[in-house]
Amino acid sequence: MLVSHDPPFMFVHIDKAAGSNIQHALRPFMKTASRSKMRRLLGLLGPLNRAGGLYRQLEFSEHAPASRVEACLPPEAYARLYKFAFVRNPWDRLVSRHAYLLRKKEHAHSGTVNKLGSFDAYLHWELGRGPHNGGMRHQADYVLGADGDLIVDRIGYFERLEEDFASICRRIGVPASLPLPKTHAPRKDYRSFYSDETRDLVAKAYDRDIQLFGYSFHGPPAGPNQGLSKTAS
């Protein structure tokens, strides 16, 4: 999660969708006001009891959803920010998460995933936990409000990362460029990890993401890309 005072933007970091690279690229161009100054700018000097208290030291967790920020800021302050996130094909995202957990030995679930052995065993374990019990969250949860409406201005696609990121940078007025990707062992096409049965399991488990973002098993929506936006939703 990045919230910038100048230029005014908010990046919602959805895990396994190049979020760390995006944050690294944007941080040098963002200015964050001091806490006291930001409270003045946001009209937070007086008592404010939104989302259980004051804007929680003006900081949010790494993967905070947009609804958390919306709940903490006055409407005019939230509206001023250009808000965006990047999403990824759910089938590919699960393969990426599996590879990450195998590789990240210090992660709490790395040992469990390594013992599971196969991707199929991991997939059943991951889907069995569900997003409310530690499983991989729906990407829709990061960008929808309580009423189910999109509360960010732009959704970029991991599959068109450079194109969408460049478009967003032009919109917020920064000359940022993405860092070179980290080098890991080449991975097979995500589709090769799935049988018909496991493909359908993911389709059912992440139906909301698939419908909202226009994904199919084979990739993102086809055709000229303008990114999903409030007006397009």
User: For the chain, which residues make up each domain, given as ranges?
Assistant: 2-229
b/e burial code for range 71-86 (CB count within 10 A of at least 16 → b): ebbeeebbebbbbbbb
Q: What is the CATH number of domain 2-229?
A: 3.40.50
Q: What is the pLDDT of residues 107-125, one digit of tens each?
A: 878 889 999 989 999 999 9
Tell me the pLDDT band of 103, cut-offs 50, 70 and 90.
Answer: confident
Rounded to whole angstroms, how far apart are CA atoms 107 and 112?
10
| CB-based contacts of 201-207 (< 8 A; 24+ apart in sequence) | 201/123, 201/124, 201/127, 202/90, 202/91, 202/94, 202/123, 202/127, 205/127, 206/90, 206/138
Instruction: Summarize pLDDT for 144-199 with one digit per residue, the tens.
Output: 999 999 999 999 999 999 999 999 999 999 999 998 766 566 678 999 999 999 99
> What pLDDT is recorded for position 184?
60
pLDDT of 206:
96
Asked whether 31 and 6 are in contact (CB, 8 A), the reply is yes
The predicted model scores a pTM of: 0.84
